[in-house]
Chains A and B, each alone.
Chain A
Amino acid sequence: MASNVVTPPLRARTSNRLWRVFANHLATVAAVGATILVMAPLIAIFCYLIYKGASSLNFAFFTQIPKPVGEVGGGMANAIVGSGVLLAIASLMGVPIGIAGGIYIAEFGRNKRLANMVRFTADVLNGVPSIVMGIAVFTLIVLPQKGFSALSGGVALGIMMIPTITRTTEEMLLMVPLNVREAALGLGVPNWRSVLSITLRTASPGVITGCMLAFARVAGETAPLLFTAFGNQFWSVSLNQPIAALPLQIFVYAISPYDEWHRLAWAGALVLIVLIVLSVSLVRYVAGRGVLKGAS
């Protein structure tokens, strides 16, 4: 880009021009420097996580429940299953409501004030700290039930999924060309059928990956589970009992003073990271390829 440094028609004073060229180079160096300064530690974090996690991960991690303090070995089987139960509840709640909300904004609310407000509120709700969700669900479910439960944890995560899924569904539906809808309606298909079987179907790869992204996000959430699901050292899949969860277990083990537990925490972190890398790359792959070929 050296050709940018041209002499202006009205010749500026030489010192001035030198300063401008210097400032230009300074800015370039600063921007490149900032990028290196940021990327280096971030890449370091990432590599360290993979290295540490991979060296701690073994078969027992997936098959055994935690051993008492002082004993070597043990795993997080109960936490993995617990996370699965929590995420199943969350998805049952968050996915249908989120998709329906997205359908409303994209299909029925175009350019309506209400739809804009829903979109805006969803964005704002996305930024609300997860621990606040935890408190709200605590007073809503845990207090009346008089006990921590898997159900309350699942509901807290489900609430967090709704705004994310609504926004991605909306974006994906907007990419479906209008002609597709018109073709369906032109064949005499009722509008609701056209939305569900034609528009949503066309956009489904995008919608599904959007759901996966929301899923991966809440899979790593710890704060709202602290006083809803609470954690459990033993096997439990009952919905009204406290249940273990992977991120909770990582937190408890990380702040514990035992090396063996630290090892398990690193292994758990790697499992979470793999889940997230997979879903983010999938989203990027689908979005980059263009979900809908020929979408205008």
Chain B
Amino acid sequence: MAGQADVTQRAESGSSPGAEPSLSVVRQYLLSCGSSSIADRAFSALMLVCALSIFAIVVLILVELISGSKLTIQKFGMPFFFGSAWDPVNGNFGALPFIYGTVVSSILSLIIAVPLAVGVAIFLTEMCPAFLRSFLAFFTELLAAIPSVVYGLWAVFVMVPLLRQYLYPLLIKTLGWTGIFAGPNYGYGMFSAGVILSIMILPIISSLTREVISAVPYSQREAVLALGATRWEMIRMGVLRNARIGIVGAVILGLGRALGETMAVTMVIGNRPEIARSLLAPAYSMASVIANEFSEAADDLSRSALIEIGLALFIVTIIVNALARVLVWAVTRGAPVRGT
């Protein structure tokens, strides 16, 4: 009896009022009794090292990229990112056409994908019958997992011919005077890259938006409905207004994907390092130029230039992804578990 009381007392003293409930009192007590403490410490240290390896990977990539691009960083400095010459033969490098291609194709893909993705997410969470919901959710998940090269294959043989035959002549005819949709109709070009990118990032944006919308508490919806709102007003005021930060996060995450997408873009963008006014003209992106030229880079300088483009891509995607994660996390943090 006395021993039991002792245990209870000790256990109670172990749990201060502020302690988190996840690590239970009993467990804490048993751990502090400490048998086999050396093996336990070694084990937890080993696990810690493996967890830290994730930081190590980030640092390693950064160090490798910086040391690999030392040559061009020293030779060109910042103007590397503003020059538009790409002439490996004469050792003259500028990354502007590639940056332009990456940025414009990504923005284009967001313009196409975001309204559709948000519409799909709203439909799936607020309007969809249950049997359809699980099927569509599964399907979206599947599409997010299809490899880039397979999308590229489809784009080359199905999408580009369709666009070239039907959409582009129409665009040239009606909007050709703006200069944005002008010029020879190759089929391969900036606009095609934007379309395939939007197809690829749609599943990602819509599934994350769905997650964020589901995290909005039901009481919000009920409160707005109780005031006599229509369903759309409920979605607009009760749901979207609460979820907007998370939706922005989802969009930025899609942007990060689009910026770094390599294979599908390489296959349809046309691969010409020029800044053209027309969106139908062939262009080039940062990831594509690396994919196409890296293994054939003849000398150290051109390889260094390509690695510097990779470094820029790495830093930009790290920032974009970190921002997106913070925004999504801010909304879903206190999310109630659905269906309980």
Contacts and interface: CB of A to CB of B under 8 A. Distances in A.
Do A and B bind? yes
Interface of A: 1, 4-9, 20-21, 23-24, 26-28, 30-35, 37-39, 41-43, 45-46, 48-49, 96-98, 100-101, 103-105, 107-111, 114-115, 117-118, 120-136, 138-140, 148, 159, 162-163, 166, 178, 181-182, 185-186, 188, 190-192, 195, 213, 216-217, 219-223, 226-227, 230, 247, 250-251, 254-255, 262, 265-266, 269, 272-273, 276-277, 280-281, 284
Contacts of A1: 231
28 contacts: A4-B229, A34-B118, A38-B120, A39-B120, A45-B143, A46-B142, A48-B158, A49-B150, A100-B47, A104-B51, A114-B51, A118-B55, A128-B260, A128-B318, A128-B321, A129-B261, A135-B68, A135-B307, A136-B60, A138-B294, A162-B53, A166-B51, A178-B22, A182-B26, A191-B40, A220-B148, A223-B262, A277-B142
A118 B60 contact: no
Secondary structure type dominating chain A contacts: helix
B150 A128 contact: no
A117 B67 CA distance: 26
B228 interface: yes
Given A103-B47, A127-B256, A140 B60 contact: yes
Interface stretch (B81-89, B163-171, B309-317): B309-317
Contacts of B55: 117-118, 121
8 A-B pairs with least C-beta separation: A129-B260, A220-B147, A34-B119, A100-B50, A192-B43, A127-B321, A27-B232, A104-B51
Nearest to A7: B228
Contacts of A182: 24, 26-27, 30
A118 B53 CA distance: 9
Interface stretch (B91-99, B121-129, B173-181, B274-282): B121-129
Contact of A226 (B119, B158, B295, B318): B295
Contact of A127 (B118, B138, B228, B257): B257
B36 interface: yes
Given A23-B233, A122-B54, A127-B257, 13 more contacts: A8-B228, A27-B232, A127-B253, A127-B317, A128-B61, A129-B317, A136-B60, A186-B26, A216-B145, A220-B145, A226-B294, A254-B149, A254-B157
